[in-house]
Amino acid sequence: MKGKDYSKSLQVIVSYSLIVVSIISLVFALGFMTNFYELFVNGDEMMYDFFKDLQILNNAIFNSAIVCVAMSLGYIAFDITKKRVGIFGSIYAVVVAVVTFFNTQNIIRVNNYFAVTYKGMDFSILEEYTKSMFPFTFAKTVFIAMTALAVVVAIITFLNINISSKEESEVNGY
């Protein structure tokens, strides 16, 4: 019985963790470009072009964060955040995991490209600009965490269906 309660508790903890990480990614997306504003205002032509191109990544991060927040909040509708769920809740958890995986993998790949480009830039013309890899590292960390949490929720919900099926079989005498 304790193992069954533990798996249910783990499902609740991980599903709420995904909701929190998704909301963090959305807030992060809103402030992502702040660190790079100096490149736009006082940078040279190459920095200006980098800033404009970086808008594409910012837009992708924002759109992905909105999708992940909306889908993870759907866990509440399916009661994934409260109890063992049925087959529809488990299917929803798998859909969330797959969509999150494809959203985040694309962002991680593009994020790595911009991180390498940013790392190779010469910022000597900007007197008070502090080069920071934090936005790129944080984006990568948050989106990897979202993917991992979504996959874990999907796995746990399917394991909990299996446990519930065994419990029903034992109660019904099968």
Instruction: Report yes or no on 110 lying in a domain.
Output: yes
pLDDT, one tens digit per residue, over 31-85 is: 999 889 888 888 899 999 999 999 999 999 999 999 999 998 888 887 777 766 7
Instruction: Report yes or no on 80 lying in a domain.
Output: yes
Q: Are 21 and 141 in contact (CB under 8 A)?
A: no
| Residue numbers of the domain that contains 137 | 2-168
Alpha carbon of residue 14 to chain centroid: 13
In our burial notation (b when 16+ CB lie closer than 10 A, e otherwise), range 102-133 reads ebbeebeeebeebbeebeeeeeeebeebeeee
Q: Are 74 and 96 in contact (CB under 8 A)?
A: yes
Instruction: Report yes or no on 45 lying in a domain.
Output: yes
Q: Are 104 and 72 in contact (CB under 8 A)?
A: no
Number of domains in the chain: 1
Instruction: Report yes or no on 173 lying in a domain.
Output: no
Instruction: Report yes or no on 30 lying in a domain.
Output: yes
pLDDT, one tens digit per residue, over 83-133 is: 667 788 888 889 999 999 998 998 999 999 999 999 999 888 888 888 899
Instruction: Report yes or no on 174 lying in a domain.
Output: no
Nearest partner of 114 among 59, 65, 66, 41, judged by Cα? 59
Which residues are CB-neighbours of 36 under 8 A, at least 6 positions away? 50, 51, 54, 135
